[in-house]
Amino acid sequence: MVMPNFHDNELIPLGIERDGNVYFVQHHGDIAAGFPSPAEDFIQDRISLDAHYLAKVESTFINRIAGDSMFPDYEIGDLIIVRSDLEPRHEDDIVVAINGSAYTLKRYDLKNNQLRSVNPIYKNIIQLSENDTVLILGVVTSLIREKRSG
């Protein structure tokens, strides 16, 4: 598989390999962000993380965030799951290259035909025109953030 050109300080591509093994983790129900419910103290199901995040391996990319233009939504080191088979919608985060540039992560403003960073220190907005060559690698569908390693 030929990997797209990613800018060194924005996104780092990670390959996906499949060896036939599927791993499952225990799903203990949904977690309320308020007060706990004693009725939810039982195991409901098992979830396959690869089936959840990599359901369409042929159209899925994983990248590691290396820049801060999309902070605070994305932090350096976060993993993003990107699907190339999805059509971008208004306010989706997309991996995109404009006019032959390296791929980068930006918020897509469909209504105004713009790409923008989320980080307020990056004031630039990319106004897209009919003359631009825009290559969208895919839409970010999931974010994986390590809260604690080890």
Q: What pLDDT, on the 0 to 100 scale, is given for residue 47?
A: 73
Integer Cα distance of 4 and 13 in angstroms: 8
Identity of the amino acid at 22: V
How confident is the prediction along the chain (150 residues), in pLDDT tens digits per residue?
A: 445 565 556 676 666 665 667 655 555 455 556 655 555 555 567 777 788 888 888 888 888 999 999 999 999 999 899 999 999 999 999 999 999 988 999 999 999 999 999 999 998 899 999 999 999 999 999 999 998 877
Q: What pLDDT, on the 0 to 100 scale, is given for residue 44?
A: 60
Integer Cα distance of 106 and 78 in angstroms: 15
Which of 56, 69, 117, 142 is labelled catalytic?
69
**What's the number of CA atoms in the CB half-sphere (13 Å) around residue 76?**
7
In a domain, 16, yes or no: no
In a domain, 38, yes or no: no
In a domain, 66, yes or no: yes
Q: What pLDDT, on the 0 to 100 scale, is given for residue 1?
A: 43
Q: pTM of the full predicted structure? A: 0.76
**What's the number of CA atoms in the CB half-sphere (13 Å) around residue 22?**
11
| Closest by CA position to 39, among listed 30, 47, 51 | 30
* CB contact set of 97 (below 8 Å; sequence gap of 6+): 4, 5, 103, 104, 134, 135, 137
Write out the residue range of the structural domain in which residue 140 sits: 59-144
In a domain, 2, yes or no: no
Catalytic status, residue 149: no
| CATH number for 89 | 2.10.109.10
How far out from the chain centre does Cα 108 lie?
A: 13
Which of 37, 59, 106, 149 is labelled catalytic?
106
Q: What pLDDT, on the 0 to 100 scale, is given for residue 23?
A: 53
In a domain, 103, yes or no: yes
Q: What pLDDT, on the 0 to 100 scale, is given for residue 8?
A: 53
Q: What pLDDT, on the 0 to 100 scale, is given for residue 92?
A: 98
In a domain, 43, yes or no: no
Looking at the structure of the chain, the number of domains it has is 1
In a domain, 77, yes or no: yes
Catalytic status, residue 59: no
In a domain, 14, yes or no: no
